[in-house]
Structure 1
Amino acid sequence: MAASALISIKTNDDKIEIVNQLLLPHITEYVEIDIIQDAHDAIKTMKIRGAPAIASLASLTFAQYLSRALRQEPLPDYFSSGGALKAHVQPLLDYLYTARPTAVNLGNATHRLTKKLDDAIAANEDARTIAQSLIEEGKLIAGEDVGRNKAMAKWGGDWLVSRVQPSTGKTLNVLTVCNTGSLATSGYGTALGLITYLHEVGQLDKAYFTQTAPYHQGSRLTALELKTLQIPSVMICDTMVGSLFQHHNIHAVAVGADRIAKNGDTANKIGTYNAAVLAARHKIPFIVVAPISTVDLNIDSGDQIPIEHRPPLEACLVRGAIYPQPSEGKVEQAQVMLTPFGLDGIYNPSFDVTPAELITAIVTEKGVAVKKDGENFFDLTPIV
């Protein structure tokens, strides 16, 4: 890589810090996560975002909580038995899960920790041993992310190169939606990881990314990440995707996912469905890049994916640095309202669902899935 990637979560012994993504790209401020409630607030208010990143933060914070508890003298009463430990910590896991309902990674992380807890109780392990195994599992959940991101980026990147078969290097132009880089994961990224991989192997010409809406941080974070990595890039408004496809040679659209149903229907940041419809019209491959933990085989289709709606006021506000750009020194920021007061209603979903029929390929760390000829759904069995 030409430069060091940004870091969403920093850990040092017992200390956890996250970069406050609400202030990026103009101000880089790390916020300490000291208690379970801090993690819940950071996830819910979107100080941290990206399905893999929020799962990592929840797992690390839970591990931090238990590590501190084990150092207390005397030990808290809930270490008297495995059952007492479960009665105390299960509500904490359930509470963390409520922070973001659409992103399945968070639920998978909390369910994985619950299963670890239940299996240890069934094996008659003592509460101390159970707590230590939960700490290790929490750290493992966060630590797995970078390696699998690099694996899926290579799978997807190589698949695209094989499909396009460019005759020269620095040829491919790829559009992405929202942020799926190191700020949305524990490192490297999913869809943005694919773009980074193409850049590293000398196949990328430009990365295009959409400004989904004034209040969503995704495009601004993507701009910051691509600039940091020194990857040539172009930002466009989401209403201009059709024009881009008409007048520029775009070889693929690569997006992340917050939840993928059994049939391949995919929930992702609002605006993804728009891009998929336009990509299909222009016969541009549409690639979903996400870890196995994002695939939810318990739901048959996207109709069953819960869609989070953000507070209506968020759709009316924009936050940023005051223009013209200040000279070196303190950056002054402001938040302003773009709409009239007293509107009759505001429709403000955070996500939309792209049907499997509009998706060309789904990539996980285990490989690439494509639909069989004539079918509008995926068999995800080989890649989960």
Structure 2
Amino acid sequence: MTTSAGMTSIRTSEGRIEIINQLLLPHTTEWVAVDTIEEAFDAIKSMKIRGAPAIASLAALTVSSHLSKALKDDPAPQFVLSPEALKSYIEPILNYLPTARPTAVNLGAAIRRLTKTLNNSISEKKDARTITQDLIAEGVAIDGEDVARNKQMSKWGGEWLVEEVKKRGGEGDRLNVMTVCNTGSLATSGYGTALGLITYLHETGRLETAFFTQSTPYHQGSRLTALELLTLKIPSVMLCDSMVGSLFQHKGISGIAVGADRIARNGDTANKVGTYNAAVLAARHNIPFIVVAPISTVDLDIEDGSQIPIEHRPPLEARLVRGALYPFKVDAQGVKEQATVMVTPEDLEGVYNPSFDVTPADLITAIVTEKGVAVKTEGSKVFDLSNIV
């Protein structure tokens, strides 16, 4: 198997954190330094960085970087002088970061891991500097684990889909797979989840074409997934969100692979708005619908999708489109000039703009994590996720 060289959303060097500004992609590649907790919060909330695993990584790395700098200060800040002072200082930061994007459970999961590390180290009577070092190590570990698990779940999901196609009378090769939104390296620390499954099928010679929706109103598909697939040299075709039904009628689609921002205990899944539409149409056309996400996306504390908080973005975001001026204009450095334009009447007030919708478990064929593939038992409308969490 030949491994494709993908993109990256975060890079670190000697304690410095930089993210690729996804608001400017695909026409401009700009790396933005994230030096403070406030800058990480703003990057996550403004969607300079997005994708549930990626924002969890950024939050964890920023906490680690913040504490690493504190240990090097002379004199040392007050909060590293005692466990009690450290706890009083760091807990508000850990409570603050998840409010940037409340639907993405990975962010909360990363913060809970850091909180658990803090509390365990305090209970073990460690001194403040040692506790700080434990937190730094845990933050780095949260980021480092992502790529390996993405590759594992992509393999699980890819192989499952091949076998599922064979069960349905197909050959298991030349597969056409559709995805929604962006779930590749830009949404994770590398390789990707649902886009990772597509990448795995391409690397193993069993993918014909990747189809992807524009994923309006924020266009993560046409801006980001398109760029990643071109970078990976994966044959691909873009479609508008409203064309999914037509695609299923006229093309032989082998499966749909999507990511997730939160999965309830019964398998109900919150993902980029438009996922539910695709799932309904997939059920109508008897196409396997696969959710690919890390264990940290599964929220066992909520029974079903009705308990998932749905983030609503500012209405203005749905009224604006940003991109390169066409015909292209470039500056002296060869950078394409970009602009933001309004596509609605100026005085439009009514805008419905949720970031996510919830796909009920009965419309999902399989849920894949790094521990394996879960399917529903015959006659059941919900999942038992105990074997993959």
The bucket for the TM-score relative to the shorter chain is over 0.9
Matched residues in 2 for 1:94 and 1:179: separation?
27
Residue in structure 2 matching 1:354, options 336, 359, 362: 359
What CA deviation, in whole Å up to 9, does each residue of 1:36-89 have, x standing for no partner? 101000000000000000000000000000000001112111122211101001
Letter in 2 for 1:273: Y
Aligned to 1:95: 96
Is 1:55 equivalent to 2:56 in the alignment?
A: yes
Deviates more, 1:148-157 or 1:341-350: 341-350
Matched residues in 1 for 2:46 and 2:255: separation?
32
Matched residues in 1 for 2:336 and 2:328: separation?
8
Residue in structure 2 matching 1:382, options 379, 382, 387: 387
Residue in structure 1 matching 2:218, options 206, 209, 215: 215
Residue in structure 2 matching 1:199, options 199, 202, 211: 202
Q: CA deviation at 1:319?
A: 0.4
Structure 2 counterparts to residues 328-347 of structure 1, below 5 A: 329-347=334-352
Residue in structure 1 matching 2:275, options 272, 282, 289: 272
What CA deviation, in whole Å up to 9, does each residue of 1:145-181 have, x standing for no partner? 0000000000000001111128667510000000000
Q: CA deviation at 1:2?
A: 6.5
Letter in 1 for 2:83: G
Is 1:373 equivalent to 2:378 in the alignment?
A: yes
Structure 2 counterparts to residues 123-272 of structure 1, below 5 A: 123-165=124-166, 170-272=173-275
Letter in 1 for 2:295: I
Q: CA deviation at 1:323?
A: 1.2
Matched residues in 1 for 2:73 and 2:99: separation?
28
Unaligned runs of 5+ in 1: none
Residue aligned with 2:200, SS: helix
**Structure 1 residue ranges, 4+ long, deviating more than 6 angstroms after superposition:** none
Matched residues in 2 for 1:51 and 1:295: separation?
12
Tell whether the 8 Å contact from 1:169 to 1:204 is kept in structure 2 after alignment: no
Q: CA deviation at 1:325?
A: 3.5
What CA deviation, in whole Å up to 9, does each residue of 1:100-151 have, x standing for no partner? 0000000000111001100111111100000001000000000000000000
Residue aligned with 1:95, SS: helix
Matched residues in 1 for 2:53 and 2:290: separation?
18
Matched residues in 2 for 1:186 and 1:98: separation?
21
Deviates more, 1:322-331 or 1:147-156: 322-331
Residue aligned with 1:336, SS: strand
TM-score, reference length from structure 2: 0.97
Matched residues in 2 for 1:2 and 1:264: separation?
31
Matched residues in 2 for 1:291 and 1:217: separation?
20
Tell whether the 8 Å contact from 1:22 to 1:217 is kept in structure 2 after alignment: no
Structure 2 counterparts to residues 285-300 of structure 1, below 5 A: 285-300=288-303
Matched residues in 2 for 1:292 and 1:219: separation?
28
Deviates more, 1:338-347 or 1:165-174: 165-174
Matched residues in 2 for 1:317 and 1:255: separation?
25
Matched residues in 2 for 1:345 and 1:34: separation?
38
Matched residues in 2 for 1:28 and 1:326: separation?
16
Tell whether the 8 Å contact from 2:4 to 2:203 is kept in structure 1 after alignment: no
Tell whether the 8 Å contact from 2:5 to 2:232 is kept in structure 1 after alignment: yes
Aligned to 2:80: 79
Residue aligned with 1:320, SS: strand
Unaligned runs of 5+ in 2: none
Residue aligned with 1:194, SS: helix
Distance 1:198 1:175, change over 3 A: same
Matched residues in 2 for 1:133 and 1:244: separation?
51
Matched residues in 2 for 1:124 and 1:287: separation?
46
Letter in 1 for 2:163: S
TM-score, reference length from structure 1: 0.98
Distance 1:86 1:218, change over 3 A: farther
Aligned to 2:38: 37
Letter in 2 for 1:35: T
Aligned to 1:17: 18
Q: How many residues align?
A: 384
Residue aligned with 1:383, SS: coil
Matched residues in 1 for 2:47 and 2:24: separation?
11
Tell whether the 8 Å contact from 2:215 to 2:241 is kept in structure 1 after alignment: yes
Matched residues in 1 for 2:150 and 2:316: separation?
34
Aligned to 1:318: 321
Matched residues in 2 for 1:48 and 1:95: separation?
17
Tell whether the 8 Å contact from 1:260 to 1:296 is kept in structure 2 after alignment: yes
Matched residues in 2 for 1:3 and 1:275: separation?
28
Q: CA deviation at 1:214?
A: 4.6
Residue aligned with 1:175, SS: strand
CA RMSD of aligned residues (A): 1.3
Tell whether the 8 Å contact from 1:265 to 1:355 is kept in structure 2 after alignment: yes
Letter in 2 for 1:29: E
Aligned to 1:46: 47
Residue aligned with 1:137, SS: helix
